[in-house]
């Protein structure tokens, strides 16, 4: 939902910056790798220490690499299957690091086993939500549903709440409650999204099986078409998963 509007807006805003990086000889893959490393550092260094404000600032700076690398690839005309694969794979790594950082805080100084479990559930469910769509598409189904909480919603809800909760260290009272609330929202929303996608795949697979033994299988032409689309979209193509 958020991805539909936010990605288009920020892509336009970041286009000049992407063009500058290309002129400096920076590759889209390098931006993808640096961006992921920055997100992981922000999440796994700052969050376990309870430094949610500064951790969120660092993560926010680097998370925009997910838009910059794809923009660079399109401007340079070098979009590729490898770029799309690398970007979507490292997105999963970055997302996992964010919720792992929350879990480490609650398992340690945060001292709350229930919220630690909720953070772990958010980590796992986010990966599975992405997998269900990717796996459904790989067996030739359209998976024509997005769901209540996609990647953009997971990141915005959790990071905004974490950043605001971090203001507690600056003397703002009671605001630290926002992070637990956000984790519960993301957990519930991810569960609903997972159910939506599983139900959709179940329905689409039944329709494909009823239409014929080959209806649900990706043909050689279909695979080529999908690969071509992946090449055109390039890096950043799975940001909505």
CB 3 within 8 A of CB 239: yes
Closest CA to 103 of 90, 116, 89: 116
176 flagged as catalytic: no
Catalytic residue among 87, 91, 95, 176: 91
CA–CA distance, 194 with 132 (Å, rounded to integer): 8
Burial status of residue 141 (CB atoms within 10 A of its CB: 0-12, 13-18, 19 or more): buried
- The kind and range of the H/E element at 163 are helix 151-165
| Alpha helices (runs of H) in the chain, residue ranges in sequence order | 2-23, 28-41, 52-63, 65-76, 81-107, 113-138, 151-165, 178-211, 220-233
Crossing angle between the packed helical segments 113-138 and 151-165, to the nearest 10 degrees: 160
Q: Tokens 């299957």, residue?
A: 81
CA–CA distance, 174 with 190 (Å, rounded to integer): 26
Tokens read off for 18: 């992407």
Residues taking part in catalysis: 91
């Amino acid at each position: 939902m958020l991805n539909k509007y936010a990605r288009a807006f920020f892509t336009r805003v970041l286009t000049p910056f992407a063009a500058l990086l290309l002129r400096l000889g920076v590759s889209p893959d390098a931006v993808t790798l640096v961006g992921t490393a920055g997100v992981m550092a922000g999440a796994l260094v700052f969050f376990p220490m309870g430094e949610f404000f500064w951790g969120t600032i660092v993560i926010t700076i680097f998370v925009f690499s997910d838009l910059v690398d794809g923009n660079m690839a399109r401007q340079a005309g070098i979009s590729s299957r490898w770029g799309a694969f690398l970007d979507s794979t490292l997105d999963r790594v970055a997302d996992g690091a964010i919720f792992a950082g929350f879990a480490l805080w609650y398992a340690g100084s945060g001292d709350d086993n229930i919220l630690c479990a909720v953070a772990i559930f958010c980590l796992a469910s986010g990966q599975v939500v992405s997998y269900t769509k990717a796996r459904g598409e790989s067996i030739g189904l359209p998976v024509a549903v997005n769901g209540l909480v996609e990647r953009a919603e997971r990141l915005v809800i959790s990071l905004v709440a974490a950043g605001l909760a971090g203001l507690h260290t600056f003397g703002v009272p009671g605001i630290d409650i926002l992070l637990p609330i956000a984790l519960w929202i993301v957990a519930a929303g991810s569960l609903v999204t997972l159910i939506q996608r599983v139900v959709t795949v179940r329905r689409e697979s039944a329709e494909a099986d009823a239409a014929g033994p080959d209806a649900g299988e990706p043909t050689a032409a279909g695979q080529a078409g999908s690969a071509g689309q992946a090449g055109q979209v390039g890096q950043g193509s799975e940001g909505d998963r």
